[in-house]
Amino acid sequence: MYAITTEILGATDNQGTRVRASTDGLAYTMPYDYGISDTDNHREAARELARRKGWTTGTWTMGSVGHSMAWVNSHGAAFEFVGHKELP
């Protein structure tokens, strides 16, 4: 099973708002896209990190963890990012 966490990084004096995806000592950071939703920004960062890791099969399911999101892959046949489920 694979897992990726994503988080929003606030703007600084030198950089705008960004989204960071991380797993197993590897991270990918992208600029925040104000033209799409928060969830879609998290999804796109996670998707790109998964591609960079070569994790291109399976269905990814997302859940909220505080202000971050966690994505878990079930190793199926398709490469798909689905659903948003809030955790209590």
- Regarding pTM above 0.85, the answer is no
Q: What is the pLDDT of residue 21?
A: 98
Cβ-contact 72, 3 below 8 angstroms: yes
What is the share, in percent, of the chain residues with pLDDT greater than 70? 84
- Provide CB contacts within 8 A for 72, sequence distance 6+: 1, 2, 3, 60, 61, 63
Number of domains in the chain: 1
Q: Which residues lie below 8 Å from residue 15, measured CB to CB, with a gap of 6+?
A: none
pLDDT in tens, 19-53: 999 998 899 999 999 999 999 999 999 999 999 99
Predicted confidence (pLDDT) at residue 87 exceeds the cutoff of 70 = no
- Domain of residue 18 covers 2-85
